Structure 1
Amino acid sequence: MLESYLTGLLVCGGIIIAIGAQNAYVLSQAIRREHHWWSAGLCMISDVVLFSAGMLGISAALMAVPEALEVLRWLGVVFLGWLAVQAFVRAGRGRNRLETGEAGAKSLKGVLFTTLAVTLLNPQVYLDTLLLIPAIGAQQESATSFVAGASSASILWFGGLAWGGSALAPLLSRPIAWRIIDGLIGLMMAGIALHLAISGLG
């Protein structure tokens, strides 16, 4: 059981870290201290649900309707492209550090909606959580321990992003820091959108 748990922790931890759009958004919210724990918590819950669903066999249903992945792919391209444009505009205009409750801050509803979008509109998320992870988990001695390890990886990672980003926020008080952050976020979102588009056309 311990081996299955550790396998889930390590394998899924690597996969979660590689899903860039979700990480970039949670980190940016944490740095702004803008409903970041809500955003991180929603990512954790989404991962646990998807891991569990994959192990319960929903991956078979998804494979039966491959068109669903393509629809999600192009929705993801559009949404990530929109986020990239917003980040580039902010980088060009510049801005001061934002604190929770400051004028112009995003509402909790808006943050949760965007978190769900960057999580669920990325086809790679489904390929990883509903196909790749169940394929590995099925080979483990204890599927339950494997899912527990995968869930722990998500909780540790997103908890670390929320805490770490918030802790670094006082160091990022200069407007130039926000130009750099927004520029990097824009490049990451645009890169992921381009990768999804190229994969779809290929």
Structure 2
Amino acid sequence: MTAVLSAGALSSYLSGMGLGASLIVAIGAQNAFVLRQGLKRRHVGIVVSICAVVDVLLIALGVAGMGALIARAPVLLDVIRWAGAVFVFLYGLRAFIAAWRGPGHLNASDGDSQTAIGAASTVLALSLLNPHVYLDTVVLLGGIGARRGWPGNAWFAAGAMCSSVLWFTTLGYGARLLEPWFEKDMSWRVLDVIVGCVMMWIAASLVFAR
């Protein structure tokens, strides 16, 4: 009996981890910001912690039944969608301006004076002002996990949460491995252009979403 329960728990955990990874690893505004902070080595712990905590809380809310409520509140999602579109557009515009002005060295004197509060505010906005975050974590992951029943739903949620924590930690602290390449000014310009394009694409997808 114990072996059966253990096998079921492991299956739920791995399912949650796999689905969570497939949704979290996709390129987006949040991941782009974490990567940039990791390369700059600025407020990485704060940024990674906020991303992970937000995902953990949203997944927990979804498995607890909040997903059904969100799915029935299209007005709330519309408000988040438009607010997110404006914010992401402005962030993308900022990235294009940074690419135009350049350069962006990794040393402390590169002119990037963003404070810890500023970094925290930005990553919170990028994490919460995007309806896809709620659809992925609360509605999709939460809905699938909730159908498993106890304790399968808890193991499924744990797997998805673990996937999120591992991903953001790896992205934030592993970005420094790319530092040799980003010693070149052109590399920072290319990164800013890519980030700007991603942000504009996300903003457009939010505006024209049906």
TM class, shorter-length: over 0.9
Separation in structure 1 between the aligned mates of residue 109 and residue 14 of structure 2, nearest angstrom: 40
Amino acid at match of 1:64: R
Shift of 1:171: 2.9
8 Å contact from structure 2 (residues 106, 182) kept in 1: no
Separation in structure 2 between the aligned mates of residue 101 and residue 150 of structure 1, nearest angstrom: 39
What's 2:204 paired with?
194
1:111 aligns with 2:119: yes
Amino acid at match of 1:151: M
Structure of greater Rg: 2
What's 1:138 paired with?
146
Amino acid at match of 1:183: V
Separation in structure 2 between the aligned mates of residue 101 and residue 152 of structure 1, nearest angstrom: 36
Q: How many residues align?
A: 200
Shift of 1:36: 1.7
What are structure 2's unaligned runs of at least 5 residues?
1-8
Shift of 1:164: 1.7
Shift of 1:19: 5.6
1:1-202 equivalences in 2 (<5 Å): 1-18=9-26, 20-99=28-107, 103-140=111-148, 142-199=152-209, 202=210
8 Å contact from structure 1 (residues 6, 146) kept in 2: yes
Amino acid at match of 2:154: T
Shift of 1:177: 1.0
Structure 1 length-normalised TM? 0.93
Shift of 1:57: 1.2
What's the C-alpha RMSD, in Å, of the aligned pairs?
A: 1.5
What are structure 1's unaligned runs of at least 5 residues?
none
Separation in structure 1 between the aligned mates of residue 165 and residue 108 of structure 2, nearest angstrom: 23
Q: Percent identity?
A: 38
**CA distances 1:56-99 after superposition (whole Å, capped 9, x unpaired):** 11123323322010000000000000000000001011113144
3-state DSSP class of the match of 1:18?
A: coil
**CA distances 1:136-187 after superposition (whole Å, capped 9, x unpaired):** 1133361111111001100111011012212222431111111011011101
Separation in structure 2 between the aligned mates of residue 59 and residue 87 of structure 1, nearest angstrom: 33
Structure 2 length-normalised TM? 0.90
